[in-house]
Amino acid sequence: MPTLLFLYGTLRPDRAPAEIAPVARRLAPMAHGTIQARLYDLGAYPGVILDDDALTPVPGQIFRVPDAATLAALDRYEDYRPADPAASLFLRTKAVVTLDDGSCQTCWVYVYNGPPPRDPA
């Protein structure tokens, strides 16, 4: 089973900062969709917090992750620490993505785990 990752912000290959761009270019685009979440502007990057009651779904794209090394590099960049989730800036968690055709796909997504943000973007 392939590893699928939903991206909504700066990790997308066409938006990735120089320090992670070579890794992001390894991702294979699969489909567009949305997640039920609140999107926050955290300054240099966005962050989402999953929320089934969010009024506006967050758009993004599903990518196939080619290998464990790519996923590990993305985890490091997002400051996701599987052995210490409480100290992680982002958590990689499963979410249901609603695709443009109305079908659903469960994917990994990085959700914000830092100090409470002020207002949604």
CATH 3.10.490.10 fits 3-112, yes or no: yes
Whether residue 95 has pLDDT greater than 90: yes
At residue 9, the 3 state secondary structure works out as coil
Q: What is the value of pTM for the model shown?
A: 0.92
Q: What is the mean pLDDT of residues 88-108?
A: 96
The pLDDT confidence band at residue 44, using thresholds 50, 70 and 90, is: confident
pLDDT per position as a tens digit, 81-90: 999 999 999 9
Question: In whole angstroms, how large is the CA radius of gyration of the chain?
Answer: 14
- Chain-centre distance of CA 19, in angstroms? 17
Task: Give the position of tokens 């785990």.
Answer: 113
CA distance 114 to 106: 24
pLDDT per position as a tens digit, 4-32: 999 998 898 888 999 999 999 999 999 99
